[in-house]
Chains A and B, each alone.
Chain A
Amino acid sequence: MSKLTMILILIFCGAVVILPLWASWKGIGESSVTTEKDKTTGRILYVGSRGWVGGGPSSGK
């Protein structure tokens, strides 16, 4: 196996194994709430975002 093939396989493994595991650990694709500071009042604001599959902070019923 050539060096280039090895590098390509490692990049492939990185893309197909490391990235999904990292994304799972980071909760990527799930609903989330992040904080932002209001520049005028200085208050903390909570910003919600929906996940990739339904649900979410403001989905309601």
Chain B
Amino acid sequence: MSAGTFEPVKVEPCPHCGYPMKQFNPNSMMMTCESCGSKTGDTQQPEYIPTVPVNPLFKLHEAFDYRGDTWQVIGCQSYRGVVTEWDSEDNNWEKTPWSYHTWWVINAARELAWVVQDKTGYFWSRKGKITSGIPEGDRSYEIGDWTLTSAVGEFSYFPAENERVKSYEKDGKSLEVLLDQNGNNKEIEAFTSQSIDNMDLLRGFGKIEALNGIKRVGTVLKVAIACIICLVAGFFAMMSMESTLLEIPSQNFNNASINKSVDLGTISLEESSLVAFSFRSSRQSRDGIFDADVLIKDSDNTVVTELPVEFWRESGRDSDGAWTEDQFGDAPRIKLPAGNFQLSLVPSAMTNWSELTVKGTVTRNVVSTLPIIVAVLFLVLLLILVTRKKSKYIQKSTGLRGK
């Protein structure tokens, strides 16, 4: 659960509507009435009631735990402007429109801190010491030109209408220069900021339901990864069960071998099995094609099936220069029933080559890769979808995207 709120240091009725205005920071100079929207110093009630930006976590006077301390939101400022940074590739300054909110928070010791929220995330910001001058023109800094668009809550200074701020930021440290109406430096402050982990933020605000949802999505991710590991491990385990049925010694083929059957040997299968017929030929330096069929017959000399085997080499020249493509290995596979089979190779065509040496191996219990590839692809797709869903869910729960 989120932490309870603090006792106000002062409660004063609003001079315009009488609503009790609670002050939590003893150093606050400006207050905003939650009822009528009047600000300290206003001579009359505003036409509309200014409100803090809609956020599922940060709301005015909402308390949360962070870094072992309880903090309470006391105000929010919204800025809009442009970030200028040096682009070393284009050798030029690059400008990007940007906006951010600064949530003013206070702890029980009435110490101030700021949570800066932009579209990339939340950042924990505390005041630091000014150790250098304004790094004007320094290309290593991100320079921001900001205009205040809204300020609601209590502040330890008087935010001016359309207040302008210039910021210089590098490595989580920033110098913020408050400008006066003429654009001259009015006040300089240094800040250090660190990125806030979204899960820490959800925990701090006691968003148990969102945390459980993210945890569930994380479980699905882990299961999907475990499934992929199991599939790959299972595939290699099954591959270890492959066994060689027959080693086919080197056979020479030439143009006189066309349509002449060459005996390769016999194999015996006790049960139905996926059998691979792996052939490799001698490499050829000229373009050519060798086509053949592996003829499989049963013990009654009945043809069971024929499997095509092809070796080829192609070459040419294109805009990238000379190219060569070849295939000097072929491994057709087929699921055969139990029985004894005679194998022979019948060459059907041989072009441009005068002689070719072919040898091979017949293997049983070969693993079919297609079902595993389909399952792994499905799981990878699931991983991508779930990761995106998790990211969107976190962003939505923390108010970084959507509502």
Q: A16-B379, A31-B335 are in contact. Are A25 and B367 (CB under 8 A)?
A: yes
How far is A22 from B336 in the complex, measured between Cα atoms in Å? 17
Chain B residue contacts of A44, Cβ below 8 A: 298, 300, 302
A30–B235 CB distance below 8 A: no
A46–B304 CB distance below 8 A: yes
Name the distance in Å between A9's Cβ and chain B's nearest Cβ. Answer: 6
A32–B372 CB distance below 8 A: no
How far is A23 from B238 in the complex, measured between Cα atoms in Å? 12
B337–A35 CB distance below 8 A: yes
Partner of A24, one of B227, B235, B302: B235
Partner of A30, one of B219, B230, B274: B274
Task: Please report the total number of B residues contacting A with Cβ < 8 Å.
Answer: 42
A30–B333 CB distance below 8 A: yes
Per-residue B-contact encoding for A18-61, CB less than 8 Å = 1, 0 else = 01110111111111111100000000101010011101111111
For window 215-229 of B, CB contacts with A under 8 Å fall at 216, 219, 223, 226-227
Name the distance in Å between A48's Cβ and chain B's nearest Cβ. Answer: 6
B305–A30 CB distance below 8 A: no
Partner of B308, one of A16, A27, A33, A60: A60
A20–B375 CB distance below 8 A: yes
Q: A12-B223, A13-B227, A16-B378 are in contact. Are A30 and B335 (CB under 8 A)?
A: yes
Per DSSP, chain B at the interface is mixed
How far is A20 from B378 in the complex, measured between Cα atoms in Å? 11
A29–B230 CB distance below 8 A: no
Chain A residue contacts of B273, Cβ below 8 A: 27
How far is A25 from B237 in the complex, measured between Cα atoms in Å? 11
Partner of A29, one of B298, B305, B348, B368: B368
Q: A25-B238, A27-B366 are in contact. Are A20 and B336 (CB under 8 A)?
A: no
Closest to B341 in A: A33
How far is A49 from B318 in the complex, measured between Cα atoms in Å? 41
Q: A24-B372, A59-B308 are in contact. Are A16 and B227 (CB under 8 A)?
A: yes
A17–B366 CB distance below 8 A: no
B335–A13 CB distance below 8 A: no
B337–A24 CB distance below 8 A: no
Determine the interface band of chain A, counting residues with CB < 8 A from chain B.
35 or more
B231–A21 CB distance below 8 A: yes
Residue numbers of B with Cβ under 8 A of A are 216, 219, 223, 226-227, 230-231, 234-235, 238, 273-274, 291, 298, 300, 302-308, 310, 332-337, 339, 348, 366-372, 374-375, 378-379
Partner of A21, one of B238, B300, B335: B238
Interface contacts (Cβ under 8 Å), in number, total: 109
Which residue, of B216, B230, B274, B367, has the highest number of chain A Cβ atoms within 10 A?
A: B274
A24–B238 CB distance below 8 A: yes
A28–B371 CB distance below 8 A: yes
28 cross-chain CB contacts under 8 A: A9-B223, A12-B227, A13-B226, A13-B227, A16-B231, A16-B375, A16-B378, A17-B375, A19-B371, A20-B372, A24-B367, A24-B368, A24-B369, A24-B370, A26-B368, A27-B366, A27-B368, A28-B368, A30-B334, A33-B304, A33-B305, A33-B337, A44-B300, A46-B302, A46-B303, A46-B304, A57-B305, A58-B305
Chain A residue contacts of B375, Cβ below 8 A: 16-17, 19-20
How far is A44 from B302 in the complex, measured between Cα atoms in Å? 9
In the complex, whether A1 has a CB less than 8 A from a CB of chain B is yes
Name the distance in Å between A4's Cβ and chain B's nearest Cβ. Answer: 13
How far is A55 from B293 in the complex, measured between Cα atoms in Å? 12
Name the distance in Å between B218's Cβ and chain A's nearest Cβ. Answer: 12
How far is A8 from B219 in the complex, measured between Cα atoms in Å? 12
Chain A residue contacts of B370, Cβ below 8 A: 24, 29-30, 51-53
Closest to A33 in B: B305
A61–B334 CB distance below 8 A: no
A48–B368 CB distance below 8 A: no
Instruction: Enumerate the 8 nearest inter-chain pairs by beta-carbon distance, A residue then B residue, closest first.
Output: A27-B274, A32-B335, A20-B375, A23-B371, A57-B305, A20-B371, A29-B370, A27-B335
